[in-house]
Amino acid sequence: MRNLWDEADCGSDDALHCCVYGSRLLGGDRSLVLHGGGNTSVKADWADITERSVEALYVKGSGWDLASIEVPGFTPLPIDRLHDLLALDALSDADMMGELAAARLRHDAPQPSVETLLHAYLPHRAVQHSHADVILGLTNVADAEDTLAEVYGDDVVVVPYVMPGFDLAKAVQACWDEQAHEGTVGMVLRHHGLFTFGDTTREAYARHVDLISRAEAFLDRVAPHEPPAPSEAAEVVLTELADLRRSLSAAAGRPMVVSRHHDDSIGRFVARPDLADLAGRGPLTPDHVIRTKRTPMVGRDVDGFVAAYGEYFARNGSRSDDDLAMLDPAPRVVLDPGYGMLTVGATPKDADIAADIYRQTIPVLERLEDGRGGYVALEEGHLFDCEYWDLEQAKLRRAGAPRELAGQVAVVTGAASGIGRACAAELLDRGAAVVGVDLFPAVADAFAGPAWLGVTADVSDHAAQADALRAGVERFGGLDVLVVGAGVFPGSSPVDGLDLDAWRLTLSVNVDSVAALFRDAAPLLFRSPVGGRVAVIASRNATAPGKGAAAYSTSKAALTQLARVAALEWAEHGVRVNVVHPDNVFDTALWTDELVAQRSAAYGMTPEEYRRRNLLGMEVGAAHVATTVAELCSDRFGATTAAQVPIDGGSERTI
């Protein structure tokens, strides 16, 4: 491990600012900290509003990521009060967190880490804690005590596994009294991670680097990890993946996102003959269990996994004094020689977190199993305690109630601009994972975040459109919502001056591409865990054509008829197909200021009057269309199919 500390980057001698800097160094290394794991602290004075000084512990607040933490992410607490709590013989989790919350010296500070009392106990100003992979590699073996002694001698205090909280702080006290001495530079918590400390964060970080490096050198010597050979991913049958997603969603009791992952490391791991045994022993640390479940599902037998999870719950439910309700039994990681690795989550972010964790897990399992005589996980009772620990569940509850379309997957064509982009934005806002398809490369970066996948493709190229659909299904697992937004308007031309090339292009984009998309998407929509929903963006011209727009009006009329036939045929599969007919949506690329000026002059109106030339006297925008589309794809319109909805402010021609 490289020491990345740079005084110029740190830029301050202030103890808290140095702690922030050191925390970011620690949190920026994925082999040390993943998704909320780890915590840091520093002891420094706190001055209240009366300028009275109190000796305080500034500890990482719950919910903050070490990689990006800032000063407000540290909670100041009075050291004396923390020592009072440490003097107690027993303290429940609820009482401990209540006392810590009440002791905060800043009213708006976050809830402090569950390991606050441990930080308070350690007799050093600065403390850093990580869940380092290599430390777990030293402790998740049968001869962990001998291994730690060989690597560190008596430089570190070794603590057996105890669940974080008051009991762990008391266990550390006992082990510290027995093992610590003037030369102690760190502390290893078995199946948990590494603590280092010092008079400054810089010193604590340097000790972290040293102890990690010593572990790396040892493992490289006794259990070298060979790089995997190149491994090609098999092409998955999309309907099989959609079927599996439907089964996983049924097990979870809600629609789930399923993301496929494959690289050389995953390919080698899923090809192991002992895959089920090795992967079935448990996670590297109990902290992972709320994200990955205790074990992955090996293969595709969802019913078998669900039954096994129920047995696991029955075996361990009596460990708690509380009346526990079983969590959903759906796996969060699936390992399969054909698929590679699938990760499952209520949102794409959740699925990605599971992927990040298991990618880090694979090389540790391989190294310990193949080079250290066997991987040994924590026994399942302790894992169960952590999975059903209320303080761990609180981490998930902080995300709040799921949004309306959480877990659902949408494909939107024409998503780089105009109505298509507005529809994508509305679906994202309602919680859907969205695949945006557009001819323009800007679609890739139209939105940020794990719920967005932008794919550049010309919808009139049927193979390219099918590839875009495949990319979306492999990223999110299936298809629930399809919004047809791609389209072209070739410009005005009378029928007797019709440009046949423009005619063919218009029908190719506006009709032929949708026929191909419907053909390819139908089997996926049929397998939606919530019932497929389709919204087709046609036009007022489909029902009330205008002069000079033969190609456009004809194509939109044909598109509407195609949607009506699809509604007739797909209803038996639970798929709803509805059409919207916008008119004069001026905040799109089609309507430039020059075109509005030209058209308004032809009608003897000002541009403002022209924009509002409808019965309601309002300007219709892309957001109006997007809201209607999203509503038609929601459960509120669960009894509606084959509808045609105008979005035009009221048009006498349409009426």
Q: Which residue has the tokens 């980057």?
A: 9
Contact 86, 121 (CB under 8 A): yes
Q: How far apart are CA 26 and CA 138, in angstroms?
A: 19
List strands edge to edge, sheet with 257-261.
257-261, 340-345, 333-336, 297-298
User: How far apart, in whole angstroms, are the C-alpha atoms of residue 117 and residue 104?
Assistant: 13
Q: Do 249 and 407 meet the contact criterion of CB atoms below 8 Å apart?
A: yes
CB 417 within 8 A of CB 588: yes
Rounded Cα distance between 444 and 467, Å, is 15
Characterize the bridge pairing of strands 452-456 and 433-438.
Answer: parallel
Residue type at 65 in one-letter notation: D
d(Cα 413, Cα 439) in Å, to the nearest integer? 9
Closest listed residue to residue 496, CA positions, set 558, 544, 550: 550
Query: Can you spell out the DSSP letters for 312-339?
Result: HHHHHGGGSSS-PPPPP---SEEEETTT
What string of DSSP letters covers 614-654?
Answer: STT-----HHHHHHHHHHHTSGGGTT--S-EEEESS--TTT
Residues in CB range of 403: below 8 A, 6 or more apart: 429, 430, 431
Residue 408, helix vs strand vs coil: coil
Ramachandran class of 293: left when φ > 0, alpha when ψ lies in -120 to 50, beta otherwise: left
The 8-class DSSP code of residue 164 comes to T
- 585 token code pair: 């949506």
DSSP β-bridge partners for residue 43 = 57
Of the listed 121, 552, 603, 610, which one is catalytic?
Answer: 552
Structure letter (DSSP) for residue 295: S
CA–CA separation, 423 and 484 (whole Å): 10
Do 300 and 246 form a contact (C-beta atoms < 8 A)? Answer: no
CB 382 within 8 A of CB 161: yes
Is 552 among the residues known to form the active site?
yes
Q: What is each CA distance from 255 to 313, 472, 511, in whole angstroms? A: 23, 16, 31
> Token digits for 567?
């509604």
Strands of the 53-60 sheet, one edge to the other: 74-78, 53-60, 39-47, 126-130, 193-198, 186-189, 156-159
Strand 126-130 to 39-47 pairing:
antiparallel
What does the alpha-carbon distance between residue 179 and residue 478 come to, in Å, rounded to a whole number? 55
Catalytic positions are 552
